[in-house]
Amino acid sequence: MRKQDGKNAKFMVPPQAAGTTLRAFIAENASCSARQAKAWLDQRLVFVNGRRIWMAKHALQANDRVEILQSGIRQTKVPPKWPVLFANEDYFVVNKPAGWISNGPGSIETQWQQTARWATARAAHRLDRDTTGTLCAACNEAAYNRLVAAFRAGQVLKIYHAIVQHGPRARTGVIRQRLEGKTAVTHWTVLQQNEWATHLKCRIDTGRTHQIRKHCQQQGWPVLGDRQYAEARLRDPRLRTVPRQMLHAAVLQAPLGVHGEVVRVEAPLPADFKQALKAFHLA
C-alpha cells in the first residue's frame, strides 16, 4: 500500500512481503530499478518505522512502515549558471549550489573546465556536496599554489552559517576536538535560537573533512538535514522536509587580489536555508 505525504512516498509492508530485503521492496513498490533503490538508500533517504535505514539487505517485517524522502532526491543535474561573486585574472569565487562535489569526476570543477572561459580552472578548496556558498577556483597553476599556501598558513578566513537541532546553552564558544587524529577548531556564535533549533555562525581555524558537521554532532546538536551524522530517528516531522544539510559557506576572505590584497567575498543565504529558518521559527 502506498500513500503520499507531501513530497514523500510511504508504504506499508503486507504480511506476504515479510522477509523481503529493503532494496527489493523499494524497487518493486516504488516502480524503480534496484540500482535506483540502492542510490536512495546510499543517500540516506529511506526510513523504516521512523528510523533511517541504509542497509540494502535489511529484512522487513509485516506492517513495517517504509518512507522515502522524495524532497531530498537529487534530480538529473543540469549545469547551472554559476553565480560569480568575485573574479580577476587569477581567481574567481562562485556561489556553489547544493548537489555538486568540488572536484573529481562529475564535479563542479569539471564543468568549469568544459567552458572556454574557465578551461584551466582548479578548485582551490572543497565544500561538501550538499553544502552551498563561497567556492574559490584558481585560473592558473601559480595562483593555485599561492592560495593553497595561504590556506596552510592560516591566512584564509571561512565563515559558515548552520542550522542545528537543539543547540548550545551559551551564546558563543569554541569546539576543540580532534578529528581523525588531527587538531580541529570551530568557533561558534548563536544568531537565533528556540527550543527546536539554533541558527549558528561558525568560523573554522582548520579545514578537516566534515569538520562543522562532526563537531556539532559531537556536541549533541547535529546539523539539520545531515543524513550522515544526525540521529537516525527524526522525531520532529519538520526535519523530514529539510532537503540537505543546512550548512552554507557565507564568507571567504583570502589574498585574492592581483597584488596579494585580501578580498572578502560573501554569498547570500540560499532559498532552502531561509525556508528551513522559517519552518523552525528562526526567520
Distance from C-alpha of 138 to C-alpha of 90, rounded to nearest angstrom: 6
Q: Is the pLDDT of residue 79 over 80?
A: no
The residues that bridge with 264 in the sheet, in sequence order, are 253
Q: Which pLDDT value is given to residue 1?
A: 46
Query: What is residue 73's predicted lDDT score, i.e. its pLDDT?
Result: 52
Tallying the residues shown for the chain, one arrives at 283
Sketch out the chain's domains with CATH numbers. 2-72 (3.10.290.10), 84-279 (3.30.2350.10)
Task: Note the pTM of the prediction, 2 decimals.
Answer: 0.80
Q: Could you report the per-residue pLDDT of 16-27, keeping only the tens digit for each?
A: 999 999 999 999
Which of the four pLDDT bands, split at 50, 70 and 90, describes residue 162? very high
CB under 8 Å to 52, separation ≥6 — which residues?
Answer: 44, 46, 227, 232, 233, 234
| Distance, C-alpha 208 to centroid of its chain | 15
Average pLDDT, the chain: 90
2-19: average pLDDT: 77
Higher pLDDT, 243 or 281: 281
Coil vs helix vs strand at 77: coil
In this prediction, residue 232 has a pLDDT band, given cuts at 50, 70 and 90, of low
Q: Which helix (H) or strand (E) holds 76?
A: none
Handedness of CA 218, 43, 26, 4 (dihedral sign): positive
